Chains A and B, each alone.
Chain A
């Protein structure tokens, strides 16, 4: 009977989409929350007193929201589609919290204080939120200023090297020799040269971004299909049109690869620069918390970093999807 229904649904995707979410799916998130929190209570009873209040609130919120969504999805097909896609992942994530709890606070399989349980991390996250928010803001400002500078310089040098053979002759050796040096290797010199560590760190991030952006832009420009340029010339195009309206648009898919590589390099350089020089930001916060052996705070900062960096990455993917609507078959993030 169910197999027949499945076949019919397969042939009528519209009705399949309108059908209700299975009960097991609707209940997965609340049940997983209860299981994880129950585990936590068992662990907390035999361990020294842990502050579980905020952890409990987190699960109450998750359960509450998931019940509200389970009701709302009956009237909102778009939400249902999203839930059908996301709920298995959420359920797994919540259960993973439970596993983490068991391994650390429960069975002490990992040495303390280096590996605190999720409740401790959550408490650090909440208690230190103002400081963390401030650190995130400083990281964001530093990242954006360095990244923007690196992208602008990288695009200009990439277009020059890609378009002009004279520029390529003189620029390419420089790029080949200096580019592969990791930007973080310049830290000892950068800290001496620049008046402020913020400036030198922004410069280092820019350097880390500049290399891949230049490289990919230059190769995109110089690989522009000759026939596009020929067509443009028979349409009366001058040099500016050829560069800005043919070669650069043709290189945009390549340029975005450079932007992604540069973004990854900029995260790395940001965190390293902050932990050795700059006196603010998430990288600095991590090494500061480590100095006080407050590993709950270290993990809290790592969680913020994960959210922060993946948000920035997602924004860049969204931008690419918008700019490259003309391209078919691009990979979604």
Chain B
């Protein structure tokens, strides 16, 4: 019963969200980025958000992070309304955005310092460095790290606050193909250990199918959830299995990128 309450507290609900931005060149006009978007994510679920550039994926993530506020609509984590950024909702960008003036250890500690709990929780830092395999680089500065290592530090930095929800904005987008696949497994391992609710924005359909419980496909102008696909495959998933490829061609078809264009237009 208690666990159920805790679990429900990390569910995300997005209800009829509208958000528009002023058009830079034309004063007084604005562009609708999100027009009444609604969805929900169950506690502990890993959901991917895919769609073409400019369809409002990142806007949605920033709204859930609390970095921007919607024009109308409700955003809730558990039963609490989102009114601003909080350590309960971690955010990892495509650029790791490590603080270059801090060592790896101090970057990971940053969340504890920011919340003023470093003294009590300092003993957790080492565990997080081990979790992402960077103990040997504790005193290195970010400019010494490779892209994959830097992104692992960014993940550890976001996780040290034990966020209820982890928002990932194309976190693996800048990595090479091999590092990327390894990091997908790593993120999955973190998720399976901690069961943090995760919302992953990605451009990579394979990545979305490989990792998520559910894929939401967004369409632009204004952005809204067009399709919601449950990926009912057991983990670990095989990227070359027939069922995997069936999901893949289904989504490509929906996005009008399938080989047979007429068939795609027909559906």
Seen from chain A, the residues whose Cβ lies within 8 Å of a Cβ on chain B are: 225, 227-228, 230-238, 241, 245-246, 249-250, 252, 325-328
Contact = CB atoms under 8 A, between A and B. Distances in A.
B114 A235 contact: yes
A238 B110 CA distance: 12
A231 B161 contact: no
Given A234-B90, A235-B110, A236-B115, A326 B161 contact: no
19 contacts: A227-B97, A230-B65, A230-B67, A230-B85, A230-B91, A231-B91, A231-B97, A232-B110, A232-B114, A234-B89, A234-B90, A234-B91, A235-B110, A235-B161, A236-B111, A245-B114, A325-B141, A326-B102, A327-B100
Given A234-B67, A238-B114, A241-B114, A227 B95 contact: yes
A244 to B, nearest CB: 11
Given A236-B85, A326-B101, A326-B141, 13 more contacts: A225-B97, A227-B93, A230-B91, A233-B67, A233-B84, A234-B67, A234-B90, A236-B87, A236-B115, A245-B113, A249-B101, A326-B142, A328-B143
A228 B97 contact: yes
A277 B42 CA distance: 77
Contacts of B93: 227, 231
B224 interface: no
B97 A237 contact: no
A241 B91 contact: no
Nearest to A325: B141
A250 to B, nearest CB: 7
B163 to A, nearest CB: 8
Nearest to A245: B113
Nearest to A252: B101
B187 to A, nearest CB: 17
Interface in B242-262: none
For the complex of A and B, 7 pairs with smallest distance between CB atoms: A236-B87, A237-B114, A235-B111, A233-B85, A234-B91, A249-B101, A236-B115
Contacts of A252: 101
A228 B143 CA distance: 15
A249 B100 CA distance: 9
B21 interface: no
Contacts of B85: 230, 233-234, 236
A231 B87 CA distance: 10
Contacts of A326: 100-102, 141-143
Contacts of A241: 113-114
Most central of A225, A232, A327 by chain B CB within 10 Å:
A232
A224 to B, nearest CB: 11
B157 interface: yes
